[in-house]
Chains A and B, each alone.
Chain A
Amino acid sequence: MKHLQKAAALILTLGAAGAFAFAADRIYTLPDPAAELKRLFPAAAAFSPLAGQPLHFKAFAADPKANPSAPPIGIAFWTTDLVPQEHGYHGPIHILVGMDMTGVLTGVIVTYDSEPYGYFSVQPPKFAAQFKGKNIRDPFRVGGDVDAVSRASITIGSAARAIRDSSRAVAKQLLPPEGVK
């Protein structure tokens, strides 16, 4: 009996430690979103690897090896890296966001969600399409400048907030202040 109790306690502790280690890790996203980046920046010739603080990709018009001084034409990042605390109905919604150097979104791509009603809220292309060309100073209000979807308000609200808050955080830290419109 005592052994059983000890074993149970051990398993519980290990499980808790495992869950903690897992939670401390970066939220897993697509390891190599090359095709997605190309869709966000069709004009880009090259992208930097995911790096920096906060984590981001840089999009370049020409290969930076040939022309190291040329500034990037835009920045892409995962909402899950910037606002990992943002949850929908069931966990974070993974969204890759592209932004030009003036704070205008070049597009967003929803790559993963575990929302029960994701199939009619954030998965249809209509959801992502409405963010293309949006200025990060916009309010991103569901039912206002973001379309509401009935029965999926928690999901839509979370995705819209994730895009807005992550874009603003990236703009604050990485965009030239004079360039943001």
Chain B
Amino acid sequence: MEPYVESWGEILGPQALDLALLTGFLALSLVSFFRKSVSLRFVTFVAAVAYMGFAKSRLVSVVDMFAVADLSLPIFKYSLNSYLLWVFVIGSTVLWGRLYCGRICAYGALTQLMDAVVPKRLRVDVPLKIEVHANRIKYGLLAGVLAYFLVTRDVSIYRWVEPFWMFGLFGTTGMWVGLGVLLLATVFVRNLYCRFLCPVGAMLGILSNLTVFRIKRWAECNSCKLCEKTCEWGAIRGPKIIASECVRCDDCERLYMDQQKCPHWIILRRKGKMFVSSPG
């Protein structure tokens, strides 16, 4: 009786389709990001909810952090999809910021799709004072859940700090009620979970301190409030973009490029006109 030797075909075969689809999805998300395209962003959201969410339940979770904490990661060659996603998430966060939260995460995509449908008059803008404190809740939750895991080694706590199980359509009545309350609150406060509660968002927020390519700002941004008002993530405060809160949704960057709306371009044009009209 010899040990069963698997061929590479047997290892890669079952993963091939998923690997192709995941690569395709990640490529789509990058194209939508680089082209700053609104329509492609919505295509990415729908793909995230349908494929990454309901079809595969492939979301980065606190469970992945538990696996790193006690060094019990899945075996590489049998889990290529998980590793591809993790490398992409860490790489994209270091390069551009919380891109994962903004368009890869199925739950984030779901609440952003909600955001597009829910009437604007129901929205409540969180006052800055509360927002600053509420942003910190997620870091506390991250520390708390990691400490809880290291003491108890109970992985199943993920169900109570993340709503991601919903894509597997499994849940006890208590879990569904909690999710209902969360989604109802999200009708009034945009992306509530992602901004204030998500431990994965907190971890990526910490990582985004390393971000290499940040959003550039004009000198005019010091006084202009246009982008700050547009940002649905509460990530712009005066002249500063809070990297750990920014998910690279492109809303402000589209404004920068809009020569009819952004004061930077308007001022440049006026200066130019003045220059042309007063040659003396």
Contact = CB atoms under 8 A, between A and B. Distances in A.
Interface string B1-30: 111100000100010000000000000000
Interface in B122-153: 153
Tell me the interface secondary structure of chain A in the complex.
loop
Given A116-B158, A119-B170, A87 B72 contact: yes
A110 to B, nearest CB: 15
B4 A164 contact: yes
Interface size grouping (class) on chain A = 35 or more
A38 interface: no
B2 A142 contact: no
A87 B55 CA distance: 23
B147 to A, nearest CB: 15
Contacts of A154: 74, 78-79, 82
Contacts of B67: 89-91
B168 interface: yes
Contact of A120 (B70, B74, B79, B168): B168
A13 interface: no
B72 A91 contact: yes
Contacts of A177: 1
A157 interface: yes
Contacts of B179: none
Interface stretch (A1-9, A64-72, A166-174): A166-174
Nearest to A155: B74
Interface string B65-93: 01100101111001100100000000000
A111 interface: no
A120 B3 contact: no
B217 interface: no
Contacts of A91: 67, 70, 72
Interface size grouping (class) on chain B = 20 to 34
Interface in B42-75: 55-57, 61, 63, 66-67, 70, 72-75
Interface in B160-202: 168, 170
A31 interface: no
A120 B170 contact: yes
B155 interface: yes
B75 A158 contact: yes
Contacts of B168: 117, 120, 151
Which of B55, B56, B75: most chain A CB closer than 10 A? B75
B83 to A, nearest CB: 11
A87 B2 contact: no
Given A87-B74, A116-B158, A172 B153 contact: no
16 contacts: A86-B75, A87-B73, A87-B75, A88-B74, A89-B74, A92-B72, A120-B168, A141-B10, A142-B14, A143-B14, A151-B57, A158-B74, A165-B4, A168-B1, A171-B1, A172-B3
Interface of A: 86-92, 103, 114-117, 119-120, 136, 139-143, 150-151, 153-154, 157-158, 161, 164-165, 168-169, 171-172, 175, 177, 180
Given A114-B155, A116-B158, 18 more contacts: A87-B73, A89-B79, A90-B67, A90-B72, A90-B74, A91-B67, A91-B72, A103-B1, A114-B72, A116-B61, A119-B170, A151-B168, A153-B14, A154-B74, A154-B82, A157-B78, A158-B75, A169-B3
